[in-house]
A and B are shown apart, each in its own frame.
Chain A
Amino acid sequence: MVSIVKTPDLDKKRNELKKEQRRLTIRKFLQNKLAVTGSVILVLLVLLAVVGPMLISADPYAINPEDRLQGPSADYILGTDNFGRDLLSRIIFGAQISLLIGLSVSFFAGVFGTIIGLYASYYRPLDNILMRICEGIMAIPAILLAIALMAALGPSTKNIILALSVVYTPYVARVVRSSALVVREETYIEAMKAIGAKSSRIIWGHMAPNVMSPLIIQITSVFANAILIEATLSFLGAGVPAPTPSWGNILYDGKLVIFNTPWMVVFPGICIVLAILALNMFGDGLRDILDPHSNKGKK
């Protein structure tokens, strides 16, 4: 940091200013219907995933052949699947898996994407190579790339996270890079270079904080896409391995018995839609708040 003569008074003022800013952001957030609706649904889903298992007694793995494909009843609130397993508890445990995958992929894609994006924007020769690779990966349809990667790696939760991180890192990298390029051209960065500041300090101390808003928005979108692709992969039989419940897995089983047991498709389906809906709304809301210049989304 550029050194400033510190006085307690100035520090206090600064703190107040920060608090004021925070209050403003919170108010802006609360006024944004999209962000609020999105986060309420998200909180509910997280509660379902975290608290749900404590409230429900049924074992999501327990097989009861004689209770196969039963409709909703007092014993089985949402009915049973083709193994006679309790659908409600499978959907609740499925929420855990979906959220876990979404979170992990956002984390890894976020971390690697930020690193690649920042360094690419700072070192020009690196930029060319890294961005061509990113463009190449992004040019392959995400779902096809994910299916091919899963065939190569074999189905496991760990591998889904790995495959989806590979798929989505370039998207994060590109956003980070383009925002960082703008910062890079600022005079104060030029000045810091001139006085011989370390590049790692410029990159992490000054460029990184400035790409936070677009990064967070992009990560929300990665989160939603990760949930979507996981469900799609599992639905195609190439995702989370059985018998682990995941929403896509339940749909995979449900598709075979769709004539008799439509609820096996309907209930997990609704969960997937809700999760993606919430994340999209939350993301768009965030964009309105953090990045008011962008005209995408609502007016």
Chain B
Amino acid sequence: MKTYLFKRLLSLIPILFVVSIVVYSIIYITPGDPAEVMLGDSATDEQVEALREELGLNQSFIERYFTWVGHAVTGDLGTSYFMNEGVTSAIISHLFPTLSLAVLAELFAIIIGIPIGIFAARRRGSYVDQSIMGLSYVGVAIPSFLLALFLVLIFSIKLQWLPVAGYKDLSEGLMVHLEYMILPAIALGLMHVALTARMTRSSMLDVLNANFIKTARAKGVKEAVVIYRHTFRNALLPIVTIVGQNFGILIAGAAVVETVFNIPGIGQLVVNSIERRDFPIIQGVILFVTFVYVLINLIVDLLYGVIDPRVKLNK
């Protein structure tokens, strides 16, 4: 177990290395210059040049990359060009909205997805089952930004129940916070409702066909007990997996929803930073998101072993 964990952690290093090179190269070939963006169209060439020099933009690719890596391994991701603050602190200050959004979307997916999946599995083959599965296809096919627009159109513009966009921090009250987060969370989470429902259904069906369930039924155990105590518990493993994987995808997918709803999370941070060429932030955030994503996958794998002792990790 320990050696496995160590190996897995070790395997993150080449991935992060590749990611840093990819991101760095993209940034290097990107036209546009943070000094020009900041100073605007009135700046003289000398002013731009002086600022470029100070920001270290005049160094060569190799120099810049290795200076950055040198700092990054010690945990220093640099300083934003625009924000008067360090990259790490910028990530921290933008992290909560993204986390809140991802958690709410995940809760939404679990609360709606699992019961629907169980329900469909119990009525396998019926019209209800078929329409649920059909709807799940539609759910997966709606891009989050589009769903966001539709939700805004219905709930904010026509019915005027919820705000069009914007963000209120948790410190202003849970209800206020949720009022602003509900539509984004649904927009982000609907696809995962569909995925979770599908996975629950198929994993329930696997277990329902198992011999011990047939035995239990034959013994006359109540249907509800069969479903919830015997089947669901045993079907949980693949469901946990997909829920875990979803979480990584949700954090990454939050970028678009944050942009539509103007939520100051890390996704919006990176999109804005790309626009104004705030290179340290772009590098830092993409590396951070990648790290979280890979780490979550690792945790899911580990959980797998904890939940089901039959899964051996050190192969």
Contact = CB atoms under 8 A, between A and B. Distances in A.
- Note whether A and B contact each other (Cβ less than 8 A): yes
B180 interface: no
A136 interface: yes
Contact of B290 (A139, A236, A254): A139
A141 B252 contact: yes
Interface stretch (B17-25, B38-46, B61-69, B306-314): B17-25
Interface residues of B, number: 50
B183 to A, nearest CB: 14
Interface stretch (A15-23, A46-54, A100-108, A148-156): A148-156
A256 to B, nearest CB: 11
B150 A269 contact: yes
- Sorting the interface of chain A by its residue count into under 10, 10 to 19, 20 to 34 or 35 or more gives 35 or more
B146 A135 contact: no
B253 interface: yes
Interface stretch (B26-34, B85-93, B214-222, B226-234): B26-34
B286 interface: yes
Nearest to A141: B252
B146 A144 contact: no
Interface string B125-153: 00000000100011011110110011011
B146 A273 contact: yes
Interface string A133-175: 1011101111111011101111000000000000000000000
Contact of B19 (A140, A147, A235): A140
A244 to B, nearest CB: 20
A262 B153 contact: yes
B164 to A, nearest CB: 9
Nearest to B209: A299
A298 B19 contact: no
A235 B289 contact: no
A123 to B, nearest CB: 18
Given A273-B138, A298-B133, A144 B27 contact: no
Given A141-B255, A152-B26, A295-B202, A231 B143 contact: yes
B259 interface: yes
A27 interface: no
B252 A276 contact: no
Interface of B: 14-19, 21-23, 26-27, 29-32, 124, 133, 137-138, 140-143, 145-146, 149-150, 152-153, 157, 198, 202, 205-206, 252-253, 255-256, 259, 267, 270-271, 274-275, 282, 286, 289-290, 293-294
21 contacts: A135-B14, A137-B19, A139-B293, A139-B294, A140-B22, A140-B289, A141-B253, A141-B290, A145-B22, A148-B26, A148-B27, A149-B26, A151-B274, A232-B256, A255-B149, A258-B157, A269-B150, A273-B138, A273-B141, A276-B141, A299-B124
Question: Which 4 residue pairs across A and B have the least CB separation, nearest first?
Answer: A136-B18, A141-B252, A277-B141, A276-B141
